[in-house]
Amino acid sequence: MKQLRNNLRRVGVFLCIMLAVLAAYGAYSVIVNGNRWFSSASNTFMSRKKKEVIPGQILDRNGMVLAFNDASRPDQDGMPKRVYHPNPAVRMAMVHAVGDDKNRVDKGVESFMTASLYGFDMSMAERLSCFMQGKKRVGDDVHLTLDAALSAYATSLFPADKKGALVVMNYKTGEVLTEISLPQFDPEGFASETAAQNRAVRVMYAPGSTFKIITTASALENDEGVAERAYQCTGVLQVGDGTRNVTDAGNAVHGQLTLQRAFQVSCNNTFARVALNLGDEKLKKTAERFGFNDNFLFRTLVVENSSYPSENRTETEIAWTGVGQSELLVTPMHMCLVASAVANEGVMMEPYAVARTVAHNGDTRSVTQPRVYRRAMETDTAARLKEYMRLVVTGGTGTAANIPGVRVCGKTGSAQLDTQENTNAWFVGFMDDPAHPYAIAIVVEDAGGGGSVAAPIARQVFEWMLQNGY
């Protein structure tokens, strides 16, 4: 009998532990995935309840109201119509970040922050008070980290009729200042499927030569003496069966050069050799330290997962991966995180776009605190890469991003796609200044070289920011 009681006690303890683990996992899931569940199109409960609540406003970091409710224009359910900023340039520049009332933008603030905007975060006392007074509930206002004026200005810099995206973030905190996507559409008008896509966080691109940041980091940490080694660029590197030999833009021949110089002039031949010397496993491991193949579960942003290829890893594919091609896929937001990690001594902060939520009575409901996402590389690796990226801007492929008196660092890229007439133009970089801790990532589709197309946009964005108090 005593043995039976002991066994029952053990079983009871085990069940209690399992229940505690289940409860903890449930709480964790609600914290991490709560917004994703609320914003799901299959959440019919939320869809019904939204008709009973007046949503809160959405405001930018400076208090500019981007989305609000116009009581003079009731919708078909008698609720105040949801309207957006009166300036078309502002509301179109912000549409992918803010979203729209028809949910044509996947995971914009309008849908992803449903729980806050529609009062699901209210306490029972607040709900009861509204019920007793016979008033409709009013959701919380959502204050963003985004700058609408900066977003509108950055939009104006893109070449006419070109698709693309631009992201700016504070690399010390993770605050996102802008995430624009082109083409844009008016949230109060028609939106094509193409225009509704948020290219900043949801569309995947080949990173091109911007991935050489990661190849370089891997080489510096895994290949002793690589920084002093001499490489020879003959213009063509024969790899594999010779059907996809590695060449440089314009069939350039760089001759003998170091890793630093190869980074500065973006020599494909050298980086293909570096990747082959490293081997796929080491390069993949470094890429994964930077967030490739991870499941991004950021608190206030939905970002598509980046991909480092795992199949068909031939010598040819490994060589082209080191250059930034092969089957690599990444979002502009993620490449902004990569540049930020270099600027921030190897530490990658979690990006966030919501600063705080404020209840209808003016009380602050929640505040988003900065959070470290991961350490991407060692501090000394980041320091060396920072110098390499500085040389790109002062005397390499990114001189069009240079600002006199400002320490701008960067890396250009031109991703070659067989289906396009021109390459996608990339630039990623940052201002290396504690007083101006901002990183940028730009991609302009089918536009040509990153140095001639994307780098000048980065310079103008940084200049605007410096002139406007950033």
How distant is the alpha carbon of residue 77 from its chain centre? 37
Return the pLDDT at 180.
Answer: 97
Return the pLDDT at 74.
Answer: 74
Return the pLDDT at 412.
Answer: 97
CA distance 116 to 39: 11
Domain ranges of the chain: 1-29, 208-352+369-467
Among 61, 86, 92, smallest CA distance to 155 is for 92
Helix (H) or strand (E) holding 438: strand 438-444
Contacts of 168 (CB under 8 A, 6+ apart): 150, 154, 176, 177, 178, 336, 438, 439, 440, 461, 465
Return the pLDDT at 94.
Answer: 97
Side-chain half-sphere CA neighbours of 335 within 13 A = 36
Return the pLDDT at 241.
Answer: 76
Residues of the chain with pLDDT under 70: 1-51, 77, 124-125, 127-129, 131-134, 416-420
Contacts of 272 (CB under 8 A, 6+ apart): 237, 239, 246, 319, 320, 322, 323
3-state secondary structure at position 64: coil
Strands 255-257 and 231-233: antiparallel
CA distance 312 to 294: 20
**Contact (Cβ atoms closer than 8 angstroms) between residue 397 and residue 264:** yes
According to CATH, the superfamily of the domain at 208-352+369-467 is DD-peptidase/beta-lactamase superfamily (3.40.710.10)
406 strand-pairing partners: 403
Taken as a whole, the chain contains a residue count of: 470
CA distance 373 to 433: 22
Return the pLDDT at 220.
Answer: 97
Return the pLDDT at 23.
Answer: 47
Return the pLDDT at 337.
Answer: 98
* Locus of tokens 């079983």: 11
DSSP string, 103-145: --STT-HHHHTHHHHTTTT--HHHHHHHHHHTPPEE--EEEES
Return the pLDDT at 127.
Answer: 66
> In this structure, is the dihedral angle defined by the CA atoms of residues 149, 152, 158 and 160, taken in order, positive or negative?
negative
183: cis peptide before it, omega within 30°? yes
CA distance 165 to 205: 11
